[in-house]
Amino acid sequence: MLTIKHFSKCYKGGKRAVKDLNLQVEAGDLYGFIGHNGAGKTTTIKAIVGILDFEEGDIEINGISIQKDPIACKRKIAYIPDNPDLYEHLTGIQYLNFVGDIFSVGKDKREVTIKTYGDMFELTSSLGDLIQSYSHGMKQKLAIISALLHEPKLLILDEPFVGLDPKAAHTLKSIMKELCHKGCAIFFSTHVLDVAEKLCNKIAIIKDGELITSGAIEEVKGNQSLEELFLELINHE
Ligand SMILES: Nc1ncnc2c1ncn2[C@@H]1O[C@H](COP(=O)(O)OP(=O)(O)OP(=O)(O)O)[C@@H](O)[C@H]1O
pTM listed for this prediction: 0.94
Task: Map out the domains of the chain with their CATH numbers.
Answer: 2-84+153-235 (3.40.50.300)
Mutate to test the pocket of ligand 1, among 8, 18, 36, 41 (most ligand atoms within 8 A of CB): 41
Q: Which of 186, 187, 189, 195 is nearest to 227 (CA)?
A: 195
Angle at 28 between CA 30 and CA 167, to 5 degrees: 45
Q: How confident is the model at residue 84 (pLDDT cuts 50, 70, 90)?
A: confident
Q: Which of 124, 155, 153 is nearest to 141 (CA)?
A: 124
Q: Convert the pLDDT of each residue in 149-171 to its tens digit.
A: 999 999 999 999 998 999 999 99
Alpha carbons 202 and 196: distance in angstroms, whole number: 9
* Mean pLDDT for the stretch of residues 22-47: 96
Residue nearest to atom 17 of ligand 1 (CA): 42
pLDDT at 93 over 70: yes
Sheet with 185-189, strands from edge to edge, namely 77-80, 154-158, 185-189, 30-35, 202-207, 210-216
pLDDT of residue 15: 78
Q: Which of 219, 218, 166 is nearest to 192 (CA)?
A: 166
pLDDT of residue 237: 58
Residues with a CB atom less than 6 Å from ligand 1: 11, 14, 17, 35, 37-43
Among positive and negative, which fits the CA dihedral 52, 54, 57, 63?
Answer: positive
Interface ipTM = 0.97
Query: What's the 44 CA to ligand 1 centre distance in angstroms?
Result: 10
Alpha carbons within 13 angstroms on the beta-carbon side of residue 85 total 0
